[in-house]
A and B are shown apart, each in its own frame.
Chain A
Amino acid sequence: MSQASETSRRVPQKIETKIWANVADEKGHKTTLCHGYDFYNDILGRYSVSDIFFLLLKGELPDPKESSVMNILMTSIINPGPKDWSTLTAMTAAVSHTTVGNSLIAGISALQSRYNGGLCVEKSMEMFIDAAKYTEKKTKTPDLFQILKPQYPDLPGYGLDRHERDRKVLRLIELIKEENPEGAYLNLAIELENEISKIKKIWLTMPGVIAAILLDLGFKPLDGHGIFIVSSLPGVLSHILAQMKKGGWNTFPFYDTPEYNPENINELTENQKVYGEEIDG
Chain B
Amino acid sequence: MDKIWNDMLYPDGQVSYPDSEQWKIWRQKITTDVGGLAAGFRSEILLRGYKVIEEMTGNISFIQAWALSITGRLPDKYEDRLLNALFVNTAIADPRFWFNRTARLAATVKSSPAGCIAAGIATKDGEFFSSGPAYNTARFFKETLIKIKSGERTLEDIVIEKIKNKEIITGFGRVLARGKDERNASLLKIAQKYNLDKGAYLDLAFKVEKLLQQHKSEDLFMNGGGLRSALLLDMKFKPHQIMIFNMIMHIIGLAGNVTEAFEQQPGQFLPLTDEDIKYTGLPKRRLPSPSEKQSIVRQKNGKRVIVMDSVSYIEMANRGDIIVTGSHGGMPAAEHGIRFKPRCLVFNDAGTGKENAGVKGLESLDEAGIASAAVSYTSARIGDGMDTYHHGVLSTVNNTMKAMGIYEGMTVKDATEIIIGLEKTDEYC
Are A and B physically bound partners? Answer: yes
Residues of A bordering B, CB below 8 Å: 3-4, 7-8, 12, 14-24, 30-33, 35-43, 45-48, 59, 61, 63-64, 98-99, 101-102, 105, 114-115, 119, 123, 153-155, 159-160, 162-164, 200-202, 255-269, 271-276
Taking the closest CB of chain A, its distance from the CB of B199, in whole angstroms, is 18
B177 with A154: CB separation less than 8 A: no
Q: A38-B284, A105-B115 are known contacts. Are A163 and B18 too (CB-CB below 8 A)?
A: yes
* A15 interface neighbour in B30, B39, B278, B302, Cβ under 8 Å: B278
Q: Which residues of chain A have C-beta atoms less than 8 A from B287's C-beta?
A: 37, 42-43, 46, 61
Q: How far is the CA of A12 from the CA of B64 in the complex (A)?
A: 43
Q: Is the CB of B277 within 8 A of A14?
A: yes
Residues of A within 8 A of B112 (CB): 98-99, 101-102
Inter-subunit contact B17/A260 (CB<8 Å): no
Report the minimum CB–CB distance from B240 to chain A (whole Å). 13
Known: A40-B428, A262-B49. A3 touches B176 (CB 8 A): yes
Please measure, in the bound complex, the distance between the C-alpha atom of A269 and the C-alpha atom of B56, giving whole angstroms: 11
Contact A268 B285 (CB under 8 A): no
What residues on B are CB-neighbors of A155 within 8 Å?
A: 15
CA distance A24 to B46 in the complex (A): 63
- Asked if B278 and A30 make an inter-chain contact with CB atoms under 8 angstroms apart, the answer reads no
**Contact residues in B for A160 (Cβ distance below 8 Å):** 17-18
Task: A264 to B80: give the CA distance in the assembly, Å.
Answer: 23
Point out which of A119, A159, A201 has the most chain B C-beta atoms below 10 A from its C-beta: A119
What distance in Å separates the Cβ of A275 from its nearest Cβ neighbour in chain B?
A: 6
A65 to B401, CA, bound (A): 35
Contact A261–B278 (Cβ < 8 Å):
no
Specify which of B32, B277, B291 lies most central, judged by the most chain A CB atoms within 10 Å of its CB: B277
The answer to the question of B158 belonging to the interface, with a C-beta cut-off of 8 Å to chain A, is no
Asked if B403 is at the interface (CB within 8 A of a chain A CB), the reply is no
B77 to A45, Cβ gap below 8 A? no
Chain A residues with CB under 8 A of B11: none
Q: Are A271 and B281 in contact (CB under 8 A)?
A: no
Given the complex, which residues of A lie within 8 Å of B6, measured CB to CB?
A: 114, 153-154
Task: Find out whether the CB atom of B38 lies under 8 angstroms from the CB atom of A271.
Answer: no
Residues of B within 8 A of A257 (CB): 36-37, 39
**B60 at the A interface (CB under 8 A):** yes
Chain B residues near A46 (CB, 8 Å)? 287, 316-320
Contact of B285 among A36, A115, A201 (CB under 8 A): A36
Contacts of A22 in B (CB 8 A): 274, 277, 429
Q: Digit string of B297-328 for contact with A (CB within 8 Å is 1, else 0)? A: 00000100000000000001111100000000
CB within 8 A of B281: which of A21, A258, A273?
A21
A273 proximity list for chain B (CB < 8 A): 59-60, 77
Q: Complex formed: what's the CA distance from A102 to B106 in Å? A: 12
**B278 in contact with A265 (CB, 8 Å):** no
Q: List 30 A-B contacts (CB under 8 A).
A: A7-B175, A7-B176, A15-B276, A17-B278, A18-B279, A18-B280, A21-B274, A21-B278, A32-B429, A33-B284, A37-B284, A39-B429, A46-B318, A63-B291, A101-B111, A114-B6, A115-B9, A154-B6, A255-B28, A256-B30, A260-B39, A262-B46, A265-B46, A266-B48, A268-B56, A271-B78, A272-B74, A272-B76, A274-B60, A275-B59
How far, in angstroms, from A272 to B49 measured CA to CA in the complex?
Answer: 14
Check if B61 sits within 8 Å of A274, measured CB to CB: yes
Instruction: Tell me how far the C-beta of B248 lies from the nearest C-beta in chain A, rounded to whole angstroms.
Output: 16
> A-facing mask of B34-46, CB < 8 A → 1, else 0?
1111111100001
Instruction: Say whether B15 contacts A163, CB under 8 Å.
Output: no
* Closest chain B CB from A207 CB (angstroms): 13
* Residues on B facing A (Cβ under 8 Å): 2, 5-6, 8-10, 15, 17-20, 22-23, 28-41, 46, 48-51, 55-56, 58-61, 64, 74-78, 80, 94, 96, 111-112, 114-115, 118, 175-178, 272, 274, 276-288, 290-292, 302, 316-320, 341, 427-429
A159→B15 CA distance, assembly (Å):
10
Most buried by B among A20, A36, A155, A255: A36
Contact of B282 among A36, A123, A153 (CB under 8 A): A36
Tell whether, in the assembled complex, residue A259 and residue B32 are in contact, meaning their CB atoms are under 8 Å apart. Answer: yes
Report B157 CB to chain A, min CB distance, Å. Answer: 23
Residues on B with beta carbons closer than 8 Å to the beta carbon of A24 = 274
Minimum Cβ distance to chain B for residue A180 (Å): 16
In the complex with contacts A265-B46, A272-B74, A114-B37 CB distance below 8 A? no
Distance of A279 from chain B, by nearest CB (Å): 11
The interface residues of chain A lying within 8 Å CB-to-CB of B23 are 162-163
Contacts of A266 on B, CB cut-off 8 Å?
Answer: 48-50, 55, 74
**Contact between A4 and B176, CB atoms less than 8 A apart:** yes
* Alpha-carbon distance A275/B84, docked complex (angstroms): 14
Complex alpha-carbon distance, A267 and B341, angstroms: 76
List residues of chain B with CB within 8 A of the CB of A38: 284, 427
Going nearest first, the 8 A-B pairs with the smallest beta carbon separation are: A36-B282, A18-B281, A21-B279, A258-B30, A262-B49, A3-B177, A36-B285, A114-B5
Separation of A30 and B290 alpha carbons in the complex (Å): 25
In the complex, which residue of chain B has the Cβ closest to the Cβ of A29? B427
CB distance from B257 to the nearest CB of A (A): 16
Q: How far is the CA of A162 from the CA of B25 in the complex (A)?
A: 13
A14–B276 CA distance with the chains assembled, in angstroms: 6
The interface residues of chain A lying within 8 Å CB-to-CB of B10 are 154
Add 13 more A-B contacts to A18-B281, A64-B292 (CB < 8 A).
Answer: A31-B284, A31-B429, A37-B284, A37-B285, A46-B287, A46-B316, A101-B111, A105-B114, A256-B28, A259-B29, A272-B75, A274-B59, A275-B60
Q: How many angstroms from the CA of A264 to the CA of B427 in the assembled complex?
A: 74
**B284 touching A23 by the CB < 8 A rule?**
yes
Q: Is the CB of B96 within 8 A of A4?
A: yes
- Complex contact A17–B176 (CB within 8 A): no
B279–A23 contact, CB under 8 A?
Answer: yes
Residues of A within 8 A of B64 (CB): 272, 274
Contact of B17 among A20, A41, A119, A202 (CB under 8 A): A202
Q: Which of B18, B61, B76, B317 has the most CB of A within 10 A?
A: B317
Report chain B residues within 8 Å CB of A162: 18, 23
Residue from A47, A164, A255 whose CB has the most chain B CB atoms within 10 Å: A47
